[in-house]
Amino acid sequence: MKLVRFGPKGKEKPGLIDPQGKIRDLSDVVPDIAGAALTKKGLAKIAKANWKKLPVVSSRARIGSCVGGVGNFIAVGLNYADHAAETGAPIPSEPILFNKAPSCIQGPDDDVMLPKKSVKTDWEVELAIVIGERCRYVTKKDALSVVAGFCICNDVSERAYQIERGGQWMKGKGCETFGPLGPWLVTTDEIADVQKLGMWLDVNGVRMQTGSTKTMIFDVKTIVSYISEFMVLEPGDVITTGTPPGVGLGMKPPKFLKAGDTMALGIDGLGVQKQKVIAWK
């Protein structure tokens, strides 16, 4: 299934993409694409709904973040061997974890706003994992059983805040609008091999990132199992898993976003995001 959330900011409703690509309103089936709706039981309830009888949503409706009520928004740093190489960073022996603020989550096509006095805001196309079952100490073997699905994340990053202000990455990762998710949450049954997904990102129509989840240092199963050693994961938690090469920081000379720029990014089977960069307001 491809699950979406649509409507004005803060008032999104749950939806389903039907076989013709239209959004169907799931409001009478589940209250939101969040929490209990993402468990095995919740997804089974959605799957049993007769989509043909669900109301069709206008094609002009805004698409919001594909997950609502996110409690934990966790990120993995330097998780692609080719990205680590372009930034001159050593390959980590264990996953590097940091938090993105849930308040930075927004729709896939909403504007990305530069932070006040930002000079080094960067782009990062990433595969995001959406947790579907409460878990702790889950094994690698069982890790996919607690995953509801996957989506695209643009892990927008202010590099000066991230690197030059005390070494705490989360300073540059959780700024307002820095977590576009979607357009869809695609359930695991629709992804044949999550470690063989092509990824790309363009800035102003120019290809910057081209990669694949096959170059992950730590795969999806390892990431979910590893994080569950340190915290309880709940349905609706989001884990964004790192980026392939082509970020602005790794270019010579480095290139960063400015107001008026546009980004487009996609992952095989997970759709496309499009964002305009605007000045702080």
CATH number at residue 205: 3.90.850.10
Give the residue numbers spanning the domain of 184. Answer: 73-278
Residue 61 forms part of a structural domain: no
62, part of any domain: no
Specify the pLDDT at position 209: 98
100 and 42 assigned to the same domain: no
Query: Residue 265: inside a domain, yes or no?
Result: yes
pLDDT, tens digit, for every residue of 4-19? 999 999 999 999 999 9
Does one domain contain both 256 and 183? yes
Q: Report pLDDT for 91.
A: 87
State residue 89's pLDDT score.
79
Distance between CA atoms of residues 150 and 239, nearest Å: 9
Per-residue pLDDT at 82: 81
For residue 98, the model assigns a pLDDT of 95
pLDDT of 167 reads 76
Count CB-CB contacts under 10 A for residue 157. 28
Residues 130-141 have a mean pLDDT of 98
Is residue 85 very low, low, confident or very high in pLDDT (cuts 50, 70, 90)?
Answer: confident
Residues 142 and 245 occupy one common structural domain: yes
Give the model's pLDDT for residue 88: 79
Q: What is the mean pLDDT of residues 252-256?
A: 96
Is the residue at 95 inside a domain?
yes
Written as one string, the DSSP assignment of the chain is -EEEEESSTT--EEEEE-TTS-EEE-TTT-S-SSGGGGSHHHHHHHHHS-GGGSPBPPTTSPB--SS-S-S-EEEEES-BHHHHHHHTPPPPSS-EEEE--GGGEE-TTSPEEPPTT-S-EE--EEEEEEE-S-BSS--TTTGGGGEEEEEEEE--EEHHHHHSSSS-GGGGT-STT-EEB-S-EEEGGG-S-TTS-EEEEEETTEEEEEEEGGGBSS-HHHHHHHHTTTS-B-TT-EEE----S--GGGSSS-----TT-EEEEEETTTEEEEEEEE---
Is 168 a domain residue? Answer: yes
> Residue 255 pLDDT more than 90?
yes
Whether 170 and 38 map to the same domain: the answer is: no
160 and 258, same domain (yes or no)? yes
The band of 146, judged by pLDDT with boundaries at 50, 70 and 90, is: very high
Residue 131 located in a structural domain: yes
- Number of domains composing the chain: 2
Mean pLDDT of the chain: 96
Is 58 within the bounds of a domain? no
| Same domain assignment for residues 214 and 256 | yes
Q: Among residues 55, 35, 211, which one has the least CA distance to residue 127?
A: 211
> What would the mean pLDDT of 152-170 be, rounded to a whole number?
92
pLDDT of residue 86: 80
Predicted pLDDT of residue 166: 85
Residue type, 217: I
| Average pLDDT of the segment spanning 123-129 | 98
Q: Is 121 inside any structural domain?
A: yes
- Both 129 and 228 in one domain: the answer is yes
pLDDT, tens digit, 9 for 90 and up, residues 209-232: 999 999 999 999 999 999 999 999
Angle at 267 between CA 231 and CA 35, to 5 degrees: 35
Shared domain for 96 and 48, answered yes or no, is no
